[in-house]
């Protein structure tokens, strides 16, 4: 099975503020906010949802094909993908643009402030879902028109896919979100995004699960919930050895979901794989700096959940 992962590629500039945003922002002054943070630690990382998901799926020895548009500055990222055996078959360079750029500041409570320049991502609709060779899809945050187009193409080609609105949620009103849900087989988002989805569509979890095969809602260290076939599966959060950087944990989780589905695993196992992927990611800075072998992952899975991963 091959999974086509539609989404962004980006350079992430990650800065760590050694304090707490809440101590620097005055609630009665938010209408005239002018705050400066000294960030002694800064890194430039490879990121973007499609890149992150594909990287994590590759660690699990899964077959993921990321699809997206990149800028003329993509050279170092391309070399990284090649080094890690990640396909560039469905990447398109848009001359005269930058690869998308994210500037992320994280405080000691793991809160994040992010500024994002889409760059080449604004042209992602120039890519189309192929007619054959794909058995599972993912529509993750990308350019607005691209997300609409790729969801439609997956549906027209009869390819089951995940709808993962993520940071793209503000681009869509309730009607557009309803269309995505009607087209998708799976919807995955965090608890905050889920509340926005419910508010904009007026649909409850039950309303959504009547239209898709599964609804997956993550809650950080509270674990996640998978709604499927009238049942609720409460998935425990895997224990991280240390909490270093939450950036990219959601993408790691989604790679676990893809891996489980591609191997016809049940939702209990699939959710636990995804949970452990998120925990492993949070132990390292950046989104693509964690590494493990599949055997190491299986051993940790057994230790964490008390069962074997076949």
Q: Please, what are the domains in the chain? A: 3-8+48-99+121-305 (3.40.1190.20)
Closest C-alpha among 77, 100, 82, 106 to residue 10: 100
Q: CA dihedral defined by 110, 142, 80, 284, rounded to 10 degrees?
A: 10
Q: Residue 28: is its pLDDT beyond 90?
A: no
- For 193, the token pair is 């995004």
- pLDDT interval class at 310 (50, 70, 90): confident
Cα Rg of the chain (Å, integer): 19
Q: How far apart are CA 254 and CA 134, in angstroms?
A: 17
Residue found by looking up tokens 């060779």 in the block: 133
Phi, psi (deg, nearest 5) at residue 187: -125, 130
Model confidence pLDDT, tens digit, residues 33-71: 788 889 998 889 999 999 999 999 999 999 899 999 999
Of 111 and 71, the one with more pLDDT:
71
Q: Residue 32: is its pLDDT beyond 80?
A: no
Write out 123-166 in H/E/C secondary structure: HHHHCCCCCCCCCEEEECCCCHHHHHHHHHHHHHCCCCEEECCH
Model confidence pLDDT, tens digit, residues 173-213: 999 999 999 999 999 999 999 999 999 999 999 999 999 99
């Amino acid at each position: 099975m091959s999974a086509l992962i539609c989404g962004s590629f980006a350079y992430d500039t990650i800065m760590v503020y050694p304090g707490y945003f809440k101590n620097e922002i005055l609630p009665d002054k938010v209408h005239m906010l002018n705050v400066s943070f000294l960030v002694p630690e800064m890194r430039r990382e490879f990121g973007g949802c499609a890149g992150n998901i594909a990287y994590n799926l590759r660690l699990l020895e899964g077959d993921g094909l990321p699809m997206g548009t990149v800028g003329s500055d993509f050279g170092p990222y391309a070399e990284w993908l090649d080094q890690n055996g990640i396909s560039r078959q469905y990447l398109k360079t848009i001359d005269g643009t930058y690869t998308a750029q994210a500037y992320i500041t994280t405080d000691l409570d793991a809160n994040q402030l992010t500024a994002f320049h889409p760059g080449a991502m604004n042209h992602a609709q120039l890519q189309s879902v192929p007619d054959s060779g794909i058995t599972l899809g993912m529509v993750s945050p990308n350019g607005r028109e691209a997300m609409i187009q790729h969801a439609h193409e997956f549906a027209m080609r009869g390819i089951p896919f995940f709808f993962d609105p993520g940071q793209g949620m503000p681009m869509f009103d309730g009607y557009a979100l309803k269309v995505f849900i009607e087209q998708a087989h799976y919807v995955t988002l965090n608890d905050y995004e889920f509340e926005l989805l419910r508010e904009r569509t007026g649909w409850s979890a039950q309303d959504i699960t009547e239209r898709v095969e599964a609804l997956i809602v993550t809650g950080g260290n509270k674990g996640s919930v998978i709604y499927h076939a009238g049942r609720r599966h409460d998935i425990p959060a895997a224990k991280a050895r240390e909490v270093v950087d939450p950036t990219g944990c959601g993408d790691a989780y989604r790679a676990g979901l893809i891996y489980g589905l591609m191997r016809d695993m049940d939702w209990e196992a699939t959710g636990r794989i995804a949970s452990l992927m998120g925990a492993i990611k949070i132990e390292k800075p950046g989104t693509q700096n964690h590494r493990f072998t599949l055997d190491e992952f299986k051993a940790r899975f057994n230790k964490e959940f008390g069962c074997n991963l076949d």
